[in-house]
A and B are shown apart, each in its own frame.
Chain A
Amino acid sequence: MSGHRMRMGPVTILTFLVLLVMAVMAVLEVSTVNAQNAIEQRQRETVAATYRNEATAQAFLACLDGVLANAQDGDNPWEAAHAAFPDAKALQQSLSEPCQEMGVQAAEVTNLDWGGNQLTVVFQSDGFRQLTATVIPEAQQGYMVTQWNAETLWEEEEGTGLWTGQ
Chain B
Amino acid sequence: MTNRFPIARRALARQSSPRSGFFLEMAFLLLFAGISLAIVFSLMGAAYSQAKRNDSFNEALNVATSLAEQSAAGQNVPASTEVGQFTVVCTPRTVHAQAGQLECLDVQILDGQETVYSFQTATYEAGGSR
Contacts and interface: CB of A to CB of B under 8 A. Distances in A.
**Range for the number of chain B residues in contact with chain A:** 35 or more
A70 B127 CA distance: 13
Interface stretch (B4-12, B82-90, B93-101): B93-101
Which secondary structure dominates where chain A touches chain B? Answer: helix
A76 interface: no
Given A19-B33, A22-B40, A62-B102, A40 B26 contact: no
B77 interface: no
A52 interface: yes
B97 A62 contact: yes
A11 B26 CA distance: 9
Secondary structure class of chain B's binding surface, majority of residues: helix
Contacts of A66: 97-100
B98 A69 contact: yes
Interface of B: 17-19, 21-22, 25-26, 29, 32-33, 36-37, 40, 43-44, 46-48, 50-51, 54, 57-58, 61, 64-65, 68, 93, 95, 97-100, 102, 104, 106, 117, 119-124, 126-127, 129-130
Contact of A40 (B54, B97, B130): B54
Given A8-B22, A8-B25, A66-B97, A19 B122 contact: no
B122 A102 contact: yes
A67 to B, nearest CB: 8
Contacts of B47: 26, 29-30, 32-33
Contacts of B120: 51-52, 55, 102-104
B13 to A, nearest CB: 10
A12 B126 CA distance: 77
Contacts, number: 135
Contacts of B130: 68-69, 140-142
A37 B55 CA distance: 10
Interface of A: 1-2, 4-6, 8, 11-12, 15, 19, 22-23, 25-27, 29-30, 32-33, 36-37, 40, 43-44, 47-48, 51-52, 54-55, 58-59, 61-63, 65-70, 98, 101-104, 140-142
